[in-house]
Amino acid sequence: MTDQELLQHAFKAMENAYAPYSKFHVGACVLCKDGRYFYGANIENASYGATNCGERSAVFAAYSNGYRKNDIEKIAIVSDGWRIAWPCGICRQVLSELLTPDTPILMATKTEQQTIHVRDLMPAIFGPEDLD
Ligand code: THU
């Protein structure tokens, strides 16, 4: 699957966002190495803290279907904001543990696009090794 196709899937996922409070819509798509892919969207809640972000939803969907970091090729994250939305702090923590550091992250709005890698999200992460 090309990067543009993966981004198109993320925009499809964004249509499933449930964001009645912020009205800010996020979609994501995780592409696995075997070709399977998983959608995620932000899902809000009247108890705002219970909200789940789009990229976390997509990664959790992949993990829920048995995929792990080494099975995942890349992730696309899109939003309908006026500029590219980088992952929030909680998502940076989650993506840093559940994806490999060299996994590409395609980020886009309808008008701009940028690619980074998981390692660009957060230095010196608190990770599983810290619990040894
Ligand atoms: N949101 C995401 O889905 N991903 C991010 O990385 C940033 C924020 C969502 C959460 C909430 O539903 C809305 O955007 C506004 O914060």
Place of tokens 């230095």: 123
Ligand 1 atom nearest the C-alpha of 57 is: 3
Query: Catalytic residue among 5, 55, 97, 129, which?
Result: 55
5-37 pLDDT, tens digit each:
999 999 999 999 999 999 999 999 999 999 999
In the predicted model, what is the mean pLDDT of the chain? 98
112 is catalytic: no
The token duo for 101 is 């550091």
61-71 per-residue burial string, b: 16 or more CB within 10 A, e: under 16: bbbeeebebee
Sequence ranges of the domains in the chain: 3-131
26 lines ligand 1 (CB under 6 A): yes
Any ligand 1 atom below 6 A from CB of 87 = yes
Q: What is the pLDDT of residues 74-132, one digit of tens each?
A: 999 999 999 999 999 999 999 999 999 999 999 999 999 999 999 999 999 999 999 99
Largest CA distance in the chain: 45
CATH 3.40.1350.10 corresponds to the domain 3-131: no
Q: Indicate the pairing of strand 72-79 with strand 104-108.
A: parallel
58 in contact with ligand 1, CB cutoff 6 A: no
Helix, strand or coil, per DSSP, at residue 95: helix
